Amino acid sequence: MQLIGTLMLSDPPAQEPLESEETMADEQETTVKEYEKRGTKAALLPLNFEKRNGHPHAKEEGLNFKPSEVLKSKYFYMLWIIFLFNGQGITFISTLYKAYGQTFIKNDSFLALVGSFSAIFNSFGRIWWGFLADKTSFRVAMMVSCASFTCLMLTFQVTAVLGRGVFFIYVCLLFGSFSGSFSLLPTATAKCFGREYLSMNYGLVFTAQVVTSPLGAFLSQQLISAIGWTGLFFLVSGFSFLSLLVAIMFRAKDRYGEEI
C-alpha cells in the first residue's frame, strides 16, 4: 500500500506569479497599520528581506532557518523536550496496553478489537488536534493534549474495577490524545522555522525518539517488576505533565506577533 501511494506522488502545480514588489509592500504596510490599531505588536520582516534571504516567498511566509540556526533557538529545544516526554507515553501505551489489559481481561479477541479501534482514534485524533491548533494555537492544542493524556493515565487503573468496556474507552482516548504530537510538532516546526528546511529541521526534533525508544524499553522491562503498574502509570503521567509545563512556557510568535 505504501509503494502504491508513493508511486502516485507528484509535484504540485506551479504557483501563480508573485505580485509586484510595490503591491506587496503596500499590503505589508496595510497589515502593520491593522495590527497597530488592534494594539498588537507587528513583528514584520524588513521589506527587502526576500533579497537577503534568497527565498522568493520569504516575505509571505516569514523566516526560513537552516538547521544550524535552529539549533541555536530555545524553541527547538522546547519542542524536542515535549517530543521526548510525550514519547514515553506513546511508547508505553502502544506496547503495554494489552499486557495491562490481560491482567483482568482474558479475552484476547476483545483486546485485539481494542487495538483496532484505538488505531482509528489515533488517525482521526491527528486531524482533530490539527483543527484545534488552527483555531487556537500550537500552545493551546498541545496543552490540552498533554493535560488529557496526564489525566487519563492517572486514572487508568479504574478500568480494572469498572470493567473492559471502560478499558476500551480509556485506550481509545489515550491513543487519540497522544496522536496530537504527530500533527502538532511538525506544524510548530514549520511555523517556527519556516518551510524551506522543514524536512531537516523536523528531523532534528524527531531525534528525541533516539532517547525515547531505549528509555521506554527500560521502563517496561526493568521498572514494572520494581514499582508495578501503579508506579508506571504515575511515572508516565509525570512525563506528560512535564510536557504540559513546557507547552505552557512555549510562546513563539509569528512575524505578526501572533502565537503560532
pLDDT digits (tens, 9 = 90+) for 49-68: 333 333 333 334 457 999 99
CA pair distance 219, 225, nearest whole angstrom: 10
User: Which of the listed ranges 22-26, 49-53, 97-101 does the model predict with the highest average pLDDT?
Assistant: 97-101
Using pLDDT thresholds of 50, 70 and 90, give the confidence band for residue 250.
Answer: very high
Distance CA 37, CA 41 (A): 10
Distances (CA, A) of 57 to 33, 44, 109, 132: 22, 14, 53, 26
Task: Read off the pTM.
Answer: 0.78
